[in-house]
């Protein structure tokens, strides 16, 4: 007879996901499940619990409580976002009503997916809402619910696209279009020529700007306890984390924002272009989304700069909320 397992641990899941917390065994509806209690730690969202089947687990590394808590802080593990809950509820409703072919929760990224290129000029086919798992109306309702929480819209520009690149500009606007943060950032590396061609930010322009370490507290005050919406959130979050790492600081985990929501995921279901290969709606570039929805850049804003893209993301969300 095997002993019942209970320990602080770092858990690796299939899909390249790592979690940490107090692990124990629990039986639910006759099935053995792994219960993971992620503790609340300083500078990270409050604690939460998740259950996993054995087939989802790649490895479990027992450790002490202090190590597990440090891992939670580094991993910045967070519960499902408010928008994710709303979207999942809508998908379940559609499935039960026989309107959808499956359930997919937005906000998570497939490592094998081809991310849309912001300066890519694609010809998009006509929309076919009948193929979308989540209907246009359901997305509109989810976005309206999110906008009711008074979110902010964030965008960054970077030195490049690689795993050592950093942010060179950050902008945040509120739901009314008011600018809350708009600043060039001095990176620890040169801005690549390819990046300069896209956003126009040169090394000379950031030479006297504040570093990420010098401005992160101000940015943190803007984002504290707010719902944040980002177009292609995975990329911007990765770049912010890399900038913090380059400064040897914890970074934005201190902000304790309420949730991060990906506008690209929401718009994919709203636009409804079905990707047969990946079995979900195809992601669109922000430029493509603007063209599809006939949204124009407000006068005075510079294309492909952080403030412009944050504002365009806001306008796109307002458009989706209209239905």
Residues 117 and 166 in one domain: yes
Residue 176 has pLDDT above 70, yes or no: yes
Residues 122 and 60 in one domain: no
C-alpha separations of 167 from 170, 241, 303 in Å: 7, 9, 17
DSSP state of 131: G
Last residue of a domain, one of 43, 75, 107: 75
* Closest to 219 measured CA to CA, from 172, 161, 264, 256: 172
pLDDT of residue 277: 76
CA dist 139 and 129 (Å) reads 12
Model confidence band, residue 135 (pLDDT cutoffs 50, 70, 90): confident
Model confidence band, residue 248 (pLDDT cutoffs 50, 70, 90): confident
> Does residue 94 fall inside a structural domain?
yes
Residues 153 and 233 in one domain: yes
> Does residue 1 fall inside a structural domain?
no
Across the range 285-307, mean pLDDT stands at 96
Residues 137 and 154 in one domain: yes
Residues 65 and 110 in one domain: no
Residues 249 and 109 in one domain: yes
> Does residue 152 fall inside a structural domain?
yes
Last residue of a domain, one of 39, 54, 75: 75
* Closest to 283 measured CA to CA, from 233, 236, 319: 233
Across the range 193-197, mean pLDDT stands at 94
Last residue of a domain, one of 48, 75, 102: 75
Model confidence band, residue 107 (pLDDT cutoffs 50, 70, 90): very low
The boundaries of the domain holding residue 45 are: 6-75
Residues 69 and 191 in one domain: no
pLDDT of residue 323: 86
Listed ranges 129-143, 230-244, 303-317; the one with the highest mean pLDDT: 303-317
| CATH number of the domain encompassing residue 303 | 3.30.420.10
| CATH number of the domain encompassing residue 11 | 2.30.30
Residues 257 and 272 in one domain: yes
Task: Provide the whole-model pTM.
Answer: 0.63
Instruction: Specify the number of domains making up the chain.
Output: 2
Residues 110 and 245 in one domain: yes
Q: Tell me what the pLDDT averaged over the chain comes to.
A: 81
Which of 13-17, 46-50, 140-144, 212-216 is predicted with the least confidence, judged by mean pLDDT?
A: 13-17
DSSP state of 215: H
Percent of the chain at pLDDT > 70 equals: 76
Q: What is the pLDDT of residues 73-94, one digit of tens each?
A: 777 665 554 444 544 555 555 5
Residues 264 and 123 in one domain: yes
Residues 129 and 22 in one domain: no
CB neighbour list of residue 153: distance below 8 Å, 6 or more residues apart: 172, 173, 174, 175, 228, 229, 230, 263, 310, 311, 313, 314, 317
* Residue 152, both tokens: 């902010």
- 82 touches 266 (CB < 8 A): no
pLDDT of residue 14: 63
Residues 262 and 156 in one domain: yes
> Does residue 204 fall inside a structural domain?
yes
């Amino acid at each position: 007879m095997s002993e019942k397992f209970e320990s602080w641990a770092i858990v690796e899941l299939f899909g390249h996901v790592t979690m940490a917390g107090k692990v124990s065994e629990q039986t639910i509806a006759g099935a053995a499940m792994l219960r993971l209690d992620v503790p609340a730690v300083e500078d990270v969202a409050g604690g939460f619990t998740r259950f996993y089947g054995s087939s989802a687990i790649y490895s479990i590394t027992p450790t002490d409580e202090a190590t597990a808590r440090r891992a939670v802080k580094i991993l910045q593990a967070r519960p499902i976002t408010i928008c994710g809950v709303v979207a999942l509820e809508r998908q379940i409703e559609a499935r039960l009503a026989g309107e959808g072919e499956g359930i997919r929760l937005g906000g998570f990224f497939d490592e094998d997916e081809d991310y849309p290129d912001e300066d890519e000029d694609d010809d998009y086919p006509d929309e076919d809402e009948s193929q979308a798992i989540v209907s246009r109306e359901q997305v509109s309702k989810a976005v309206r619910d999110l906008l009711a929480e008074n979110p902010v819209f964030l965008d960054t520009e970077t030195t490049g696209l690689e795993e050592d690149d950093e942010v060179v500009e950050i902008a945040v606007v509120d739901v009314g279009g008011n600018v809350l943060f708009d600043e060039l950032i001095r990176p620890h590396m040169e801005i690549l020529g390819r990046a300069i061609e896209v956003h126009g930010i040169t090394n000379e322009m950031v030479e006297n700007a504040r570093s990420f370490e010098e401005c992160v507290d101000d940015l943190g005050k803007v984002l504290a306890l707010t719902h944040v919406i980002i177009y292609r959130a995975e990329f911007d979050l990765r770049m912010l984390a890399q900038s913090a790492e380059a400064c040897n600081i914890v970074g934005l985990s201190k902000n304790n924002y309420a949730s991060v929501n990906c506008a690209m995921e929401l718009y994919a279901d709203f636009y409804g272009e079905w990707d047969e290969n990946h079995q979900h709606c195809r992601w669109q570039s922000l430029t493509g989304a603007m063209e599809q929805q006939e949204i124009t850049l407000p006068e005075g804003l510079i294309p492909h700069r952080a403030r412009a893209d944050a504002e365009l993301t806001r306008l796109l969300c307002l458009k989706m909320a209209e239905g």
